């Protein structure tokens, strides 16, 4: 599986936008970029995914670099409920998800 690199932790003030980066320099042309997050004491939950174009849904936006070697998950207004570990995952067609260690987001009231 192609690997991703994320910062171990980030902080954000409540009500401010958050940009969570992910590097995936070995991405192949058919890899989809998936983001999941894991709230404390819960299982992971799907956030968003994309291939080449930027994507928006009710939870977040995904900005994908033109060369696809990096992407950014954008939370437009962080709330305390967004405090979680965010995982950037390349879906290579394998059946399983390879999670890595993710970015722990702390939201400061």
Instruction: Give me the residues that bind other proteins (CB under 8 A), please.
Output: 30-32, 41-46, 49, 85, 87, 91-102
Q: Which is nearer to other proteins, 21 or 100 (CB)?
A: 100
CA–CA separation, 25 and 52 (whole Å):
14
In sequence order, what are the beta bridge partners of 35?
48, 88
CA–CA separation, 16 and 22 (whole Å):
20
Q: Which is nearer to other proteins, 102 or 107 (CB)?
A: 102
Q: Which is nearer to other proteins, 34 or 75 (CB)?
A: 34
CA–CA separation, 31 and 59 (whole Å):
22
Nearest distance, CB of residue 73 and other proteins, angstroms: 16
């Amino acid at each position: 599986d192609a690997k991703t690199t994320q910062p171990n932790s980030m902080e954000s003030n409540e009500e401010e936008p958050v940009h969570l980066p992910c590097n995936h320099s070995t991405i192949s042309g058919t890899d989809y970029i998936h983001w999941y997050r894991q709230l404390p004491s819960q299982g992971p939950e799907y956030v968003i995914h994309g291939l080449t174009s930027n994507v928006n849904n009710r939870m977040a936006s995904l900005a994908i670099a033109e060369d696809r070697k990096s992407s950014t998950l954008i939370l437009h207004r962080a709330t305390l409920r967004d405090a979680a570990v965010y995982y950037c995952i390349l879906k290579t067609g394998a059946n399983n998800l390879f999670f890595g260690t993710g970015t722990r987001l702390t939201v400061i009231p």
